[in-house]
């Protein structure tokens, strides 16, 4: 079982107990405003998401981690790697992403988890390059992306929703520098 520990977090595979807490995060319009078209997700859609995350782990050898607080074991969201099938122009690159419950924003958890995931991608899984894709107006995610050392490459629009996106990237040589 793949796990990563950081000073405050445990990044791990998904369990049945994660469904309700993740569904609560996905039901928050403020959390979801920068995801796709901004729609919230219900319990059934969240269950489908978790199933898809686990399938990607089995197929690709990487995926989306459940992120929990080490002290309490509380699920605070997710961080991980995925194939950005929603944006064919970004493929075959692998995307890094994260989503945390609103009460965990502004405490450095997203940056802590994302750093661990990026190291996992480039050092453990042997990827040569990782991208991050965000809505152009999502300043909080852009701040995390900047802390990862990723640089903006290009702008595009979401093919299904038309929202403006920015693609950032980092490769192994930039990461090691």
For the entire predicted model, the pTM comes to: 0.94
How many CB atoms within 10 Å of residue 169? 18
Cα(34)–Cα(53) distance, integer angstroms: 19
Q: Are 79 and 65 in contact (CB under 8 A)?
A: yes
Q: pLDDT digits over 119-164, tens only?
A: 999 999 999 999 999 999 999 999 999 999 999 999 999 999 999 9
Looking up tokens 């995610």, which residue turns up?
141
Q: Are 68 and 60 in contact (CB under 8 A)?
A: no
Q: pLDDT digits over 100-113, tens only?
A: 999 999 999 999 99
Cα(79)–Cα(131) distance, integer angstroms: 14
**Phi and psi at residue 173, to the nearest 5°:** -65, -35
Mean pLDDT of 78-84: 97
pLDDT of 177 > 70? The answer is no
Cα(123)–Cα(143) distance, integer angstroms: 23
Q: Report the chain's C-alpha Rg in angstroms.
A: 15
pLDDT of 1 > 70? The answer is no
- Output the 3-class SS for 24-80: HHHCCHHHHCCCCCCCCCCHHHHHHHHHHHHHHHHHHCCCEEEEEECCCCCEEEEEE
């Amino acid at each position: 079982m793949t796990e990563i520990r950081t000073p405050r977090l445990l990044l791990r595979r998904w369990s049945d107990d994660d469904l309700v807490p993740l569904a609560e995060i996905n039901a928050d319009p403020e959390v979801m405003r920068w995801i796709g078209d901004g729609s919230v997700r219900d319990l059934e859609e969240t269950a489908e998401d978790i199933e898809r995350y686990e399938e990607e782990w089995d197929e690709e050898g990487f995926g989306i981690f459940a992120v929990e607080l080490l002290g309490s074991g509380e699920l605070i969201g997710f961080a991980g790697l995925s194939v950005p099938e929603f944006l064919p122009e970004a493929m075959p690159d692998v995307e890094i992403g994260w989503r945390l419950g609103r009460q965990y924003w502004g405490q450095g958890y997203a940056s802590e988890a994302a750093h661990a995931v990026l190291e996992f991608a480039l050092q453990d899984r042997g990827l040569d390059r990782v991208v991050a894709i965000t809505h152009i107006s999502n300043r909080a995610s852009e701040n995390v992306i900047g802390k990862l050392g990723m640089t903006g490459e290009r702008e595009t629009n979401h093919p299904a929703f038309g929202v403006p996106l920015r693609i950032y990237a980092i490769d192994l040589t930039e990461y090691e520098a």
